[in-house]
Amino acid sequence: MMKRLPILLLLVILGSGCQDNSREQAAKETEAKPLTPIPDEVTLEFVRELWSQPHDETGVIDQVKQYMRPGKWRILRTFAPNGGTPLTTEISREVKYVDRRFIVYQYRVGKFIDEGTFNQEGGEGVGVIAYDFEDKVLKCWEFVTVEGHEGLEIYLTGEPDSTFKNITWKSHKMPKSPPGSAVFVVQNIDDSREKLVAEGRMLNGNETIGLIQDEMVLLKKPGSGS
């Protein structure tokens, strides 16, 4: 029996090595495949389909990994309208990687931190962020999913600097907001990529109608305990 133990141990080691090699080979084959193109028109149905897929970190492109980690995030968002009372809301966001190039997330507006003039409590939605190699920008589409109010909330592009730690975001579509509405935000990413802080402006035409501050903190990574 004692003589058989080294043989059994060797078989276990060899078996583990074969599994590791298979995983590495699968990862290389995945990375060799062309990326799924970003649709010309990103729809709520497209994002919902992405969200229905499991989180997968195999072959994820560097630009996605550099920008945002997967997991559960808490966002504290403050909007200070000109001449009005600042409002801070807490938003929960769950993020996952899908199909190598997409950051897909689901969010819920949780509660007010301060009293204010705008009421979005209970709002829910989904979004997707992808890096466009041709335009060299991040692109973000966010949709409301509350029944009776479904649809595109905002479409933005974010231009990263050379370090990929400072992203300048600007909106292009805000169909649920008054005509002429726009958002301009600069987002800073810490070295651990577990905290993102942003400051910006809400515009109506060329007029600033309020200031925006965001603080995003990663609370839990995929597969970690509560």
pTM for this predicted structure: 0.83
Positive or negative, the CA dihedral 115, 116, 122, 125 is negative
In contact, 55 and 37? CB cutoff 8 Å:
no
d(CA 60, CA 21): 19
Per-residue tokens: 201: 């402006």
In contact, 99 and 50? CB cutoff 8 Å:
yes
pLDDT at 110: 81
Per-residue pLDDT of the chain in tens (226 residues, 90 and over written 9): 445 545 544 444 455 555 555 545 545 555 668 999 999 999 999 999 999 999 999 999 999 999 999 999 999 999 999 988 999 999 999 999 999 999 999 999 986 655 544 445 568 999 999 999 999 999 999 999 999 999 999 999 999 999 999 999 999 999 999 999 999 999 999 999 999 999 999 999 999 999 999 999 999 999 765 4
**Domain residue ranges in the chain:** 36-220
Would you tell me which CATH number, out of the four given (2.40.30.110, 3.30.70.20, 2.40.128.20, 1.20.272.10), belongs to the domain 36-220?
2.40.128.20
Give the Cβ contact number of residue 21 at 10 Å.
10
Place of tokens 């292009």: 172
Q: What is the 3-state secondary structure (H, E, C) of 166-220?
A: EEEEEEEECCCCCCCEEEEEEEEECCCCCEEEEEEEEEECCEEEEEEEEEEEEEE
Using CA atoms in the order 109, 120, 159, 138, what is the torsion angle rounded to 10 degrees?
50
In contact, 225 and 209? CB cutoff 8 Å:
no
d(CA 28, CA 40): 28
Burial of 178 (C-beta count, 10 Å sphere; 0-12/13-18/19+): exposed
